[in-house]
Amino acid sequence: MTNILSRRTLLGAALATPALARTSLAQGAWPTRPIRWIVPFGAGGAADTAARSIAATMQDLLGQNIVIENRTGGNAVIAANALLQAPRDGYTFLVDAANQLTNPALMRDLPFDYATAFIPVTQISAFPQVIAVKSDFPAQDIAAFVAQAKARPNTITIGTPPAAGMAHLALAAFEKRAGIKLVHAAYRGGADAARDIMGGSVDSVLITTSSIRPPVVSGKARVLAVTSLERPPSLPDVPTLAQSGFPGFDLNDWNGLFAAEGTPRIAIDRIAAAAAEAAKAPAVRARMDPAGAIMIGNSPAAFGEWLASQRSQVLELIREANITLG
């Protein structure tokens, strides 16, 4: 009899799940089960590592596991679509990056509108980028690098990962403001660009602080400037472009958490609050600071405002520089 009642109870609970979920959310009971984060990037990369690092602490704060699901491909559209096709019950989120800003200008016939389909939840992290040169390049600072580029137009090579990524956009902005033209080489990833500057086959690179570490440690490259508005903890002695004659320059790689439109507000606000606390956790900082990542964990409103300002800048850069995915 007990077994029969148990099965009936379970069946009734299963049938009532949608109603119970709505009631629980209305009463403030969130989360009551594991949360899924869809990540459009490969496991082990900078964005994936930052997401996993902060999620490990956030799940302790929320009292539920955060399950990371890597769904790569389609310039992050596959992962974005997976979020939009999932139930909008507060248990599925998307970890995305600059694709949110660049894809509308780079891709045709998108199945959704990035500006309206997704709700910004929190910026997880920023990855400051650097302009670095090979060890024997005749420039010790950005001013000398610009002077070299003006003296030898269209001859100095610079690598960025990948085509139409944030490094490519930062390069376009730098060239425009400096009044120079470099020979651009698009790489699949930062490690590939780092390998080539170590080998001396490219004059310079614009890659993240984490990607440039091996060439710098080996003495094969030196960093001239960083693209973030403030100096990252990993490179306290390197000036920013903003400090080097390009006021306000601030173009970094980054990643953030997004929800589908229609996701319950309580889930968005609570996961953002957990991210804000986790971003300051010593365990998270100990893992991410040495890699040059800046953990953020801001509010949905602050993240949304920042995205709006970045979107207009990014779209203008893509149009003016005629940047494409190919």
- Give the mean pLDDT of 145-167: 95
The residue assigned the tokens 């440690």 is 217
> Do residues 62 and 35 touch, judged by C-beta distance below 8 A?
yes
pLDDT at residue 139, as a whole number? 97
Reported as a single tens digit per residue, the pLDDT across 32-59 is: 999 999 999 988 888 899 999 999 999 9
pLDDT of residue 28: 65
Supply the pLDDT for residue 22: 42
Distance CA 92, CA 222 (A): 42
Helices first, then strands: H and E counts in the chain: 13, 11
Share of residues in the chain with pLDDT > 90 (%): 82
- Read off the pLDDT band of 325 (50, 70, 90): confident
Q: Show the domains of the chain with their CATH numbers.
A: 34-126+252-321 (3.40.190.150), 129-226 (3.40.190.10)
Coil, strand, or helix at residue 208? strand
Q: Tell me the CA distances in angstroms from 161 to 3, 64, 158, 166, one per residue in order.
A: 59, 35, 10, 8
> In the predicted model, is pLDDT for residue 277 greater than 60?
yes
Rounded CA-CA distance 74/272 in Å is 27
Judged by DSSP in three states, 185 sits in strand
Share of the chain above pLDDT 70, in %: 91
